[in-house]
Homo-oligomer: A and B are copies of this chain.
Amino acid sequence: MSAPEPKTAQLVAIGDELVHGSALDTNSKWLAGELERLGLVVRRLTVVGDDPDHLEQTIAAACAHADVVVATGGLGPTLDDRTREVVARILGVELEFHEPSWEHVRNWLTKRRRPVPESNRRQAMLPTGGEVLANTTGTAPGFAITIERARLFALPGVPREMRTMFSDHVRPAVAALDGLQPTTDLRLLVLGPSEAALGERLGDHMLPGRNPAVGVTASGGLLTVRIVATAPELAAAEALCEATAAELRPLLGDWLFAEGRAELPELVLARLRQLGHTLALAESCTGGQIAARLVASAGASDVLRGGIVAYHNDAKVDLLGVEPDLLAEHGAVSEPVVSAMAAGARERLGADLAAATSGIAGPGGGSAEKPVGTVCFALATPTDVRAWTLRIPDLGREFVRDRAVFEVFRALLQ
């Protein structure tokens, strides 16, 4: 493609807690997805602490190399919030007091019957020449300002405030730029081959510089083939993705078990909804993770009837109707018990389908016969109950649980 040079973006997340490993920056991932769909190419995400010198270097470097920079964090009222003063320093300008922003802060706090400390005035100080970005869901106003070739948008770090202000201010400003090249993606979920075998099958599609680009990532036994296309219009980018998917599907054959733009739990819910099925869960070693991941999607309630976390054997007996004799004879981690759990959940929660897990996530609790990582699964339908067992490699409690959750999603999709 002989397209013009694309418009680029960089993201900067600010906060000592992010750089010292005590909190995870989730804002930048969300922003990257939004900006790419709008038509910017995201080149780099950087996390930096509150130290003024490092913050200055990082913001200045991002602004020297991108058309749009979105910085999140460092706009609060406390002394460790330094984005305002650092941006002023980069531009060699003063901070100015912005009366309407101070009025907004005062009104916001007063309406909520909170005191209005003088220190909140810091939040109404903005670098001279900046455009104020109103915050309708919190106190801290943001600002937009031009540094070198870049338009810098400074937003608060609180995710809900950041998202609202992105929609209110950044999205319309970016959408008005010339030369946007929207990017979109499509995912093919693959189970079976090794990553290398899959790569060989995909061949030239994975060479660098192609559009659509095809990449492979591995996670908990699942391989994801991601097709990413860029075009002058979003619809054209989507068509490019679909054309490549049409080429790849025959290459993948039986390995392909799901596809879409959504995450796996949404795919599971969509499939069950389409088939008119309702679902119940009986979780032992997965401890509510399967339910939690499904419930994270809005509208889970039309499919998911409910779930029971039956950690103790008493709960398996009392809540799921598992016979005590069955437990005594086979143990909790066994196909007969997990089948009874699924059947009990299906009946008691009044669902068409029920899935159950029982296993040894570790670190303790393993034996020679049933080592850590042994997980039994069952799927109950109106006509039968099917049980099976996996020996998941003992690569930590989290790994065993994640793999078990994924196994249930996989079974529900098939």
User: What residues make up the interface of A, taking CB atoms closer than 8 Å to B?
Assistant: 15-26, 28-36, 42-52, 54, 58, 76-80, 82, 109, 114-115, 117-120, 123, 137, 139, 157-158, 160, 163-164, 183, 185, 187, 194-200, 202, 206-208, 213-219, 224, 226, 228, 281, 287-292, 294-296, 298, 300-301, 304-312, 314-315, 318-319, 348-350, 362-363, 393, 395-399
With A54-B43, A80-B206, A348-B319 as contacts: A23 and B217 at CB distance below 8 Å:
yes
Q: Given B36, B139, B216, B311, which contacts A78 in the complex, CB threshold below 8 Å?
A: B216
Output the nearest chain B residue to A278 by Cβ-Cβ distance: B312
Among A19, A21, A46, A202, max chain B CB count under 10 A is at A21
With A287-B295, A292-B288, A295-B287 as contacts: A45 and B32 at CB distance below 8 Å:
no
> Is B49 touching A43 in the complex (CB atoms < 8 A)?
yes
A120 to B22, CA, bound (A): 36
Output the nearest chain B residue to A120 by Cβ-Cβ distance: B196
> Is B298 touching A397 in the complex (CB atoms < 8 A)?
yes
Q: Given B195, B213, B295, B306, which contacts A76 in the complex, CB threshold below 8 Å?
A: B195
Output the nearest chain B residue to A207 by Cβ-Cβ distance: B79
Q: A20-B32, A78-B199, A287-B296 are in contact. List 9 more A-B contacts (CB 8 A).
A: A19-B44, A20-B42, A21-B30, A76-B196, A80-B206, A117-B196, A305-B315, A306-B309, A312-B350
Output the nearest chain B residue to A219 by Cβ-Cβ distance: B158
With A196-B77, A281-B309, A319-B349 as contacts: A20 and B36 at CB distance below 8 Å:
yes
> Is A51 touching B196 in the complex (CB atoms < 8 A)?
no
Output the nearest chain B residue to A286 by Cβ-Cβ distance: B295
| Smallest beta-carbon distance A26→chain B, Å | 6
A185 to B20, CA, bound (A): 9
> Which 9 residue pairs spanning A and B have beta carbons closest together?
A21-B33, A287-B295, A78-B199, A21-B32, A288-B291, A77-B196, A288-B288, A45-B47, A292-B292
With A51-B208, A119-B199 as contacts: A42 and B24 at CB distance below 8 Å:
no
Across-interface contacts of A301 in B (CB, < 8 A): 311-312
Output the nearest chain B residue to A16 by Cβ-Cβ distance: B215
A98 to B71, CA, bound (A): 43
With A48-B44, A79-B207, A287-B295 as contacts: A15 and B199 at CB distance below 8 Å:
no
Output the nearest chain B residue to A294 by Cβ-Cβ distance: B287
Q: Given B21, B45, B183, B307, which contacts A18 in the complex, CB threshold below 8 Å?
A: B45
> Is A216 touching B289 in the complex (CB atoms < 8 A)?
no
Across-interface contacts of A196 in B (CB, < 8 A): 76-78, 117, 119-120, 123, 139
13 contacting pairs across A/B (C-beta < 8 A): A17-B217, A22-B187, A23-B217, A76-B195, A77-B194, A80-B215, A291-B292, A296-B398, A301-B312, A305-B311, A312-B349, A319-B348, A319-B349
> Is A199 touching B79 in the complex (CB atoms < 8 A)?
yes
With A29-B21, A44-B46 as contacts: A217 and B15 at CB distance below 8 Å:
yes
Output the nearest chain B residue to A198 by Cβ-Cβ distance: B78
Output the nearest chain B residue to A46 by Cβ-Cβ distance: B46
Among A82, A164, A298, max chain B CB count under 10 A is at A298
| Smallest beta-carbon distance A35→chain B, Å | 8
A216 to B78, CA, bound (A): 8
A117 to B200, CA, bound (A): 8
Among A17, A137, A363, max chain B CB count under 10 A is at A17
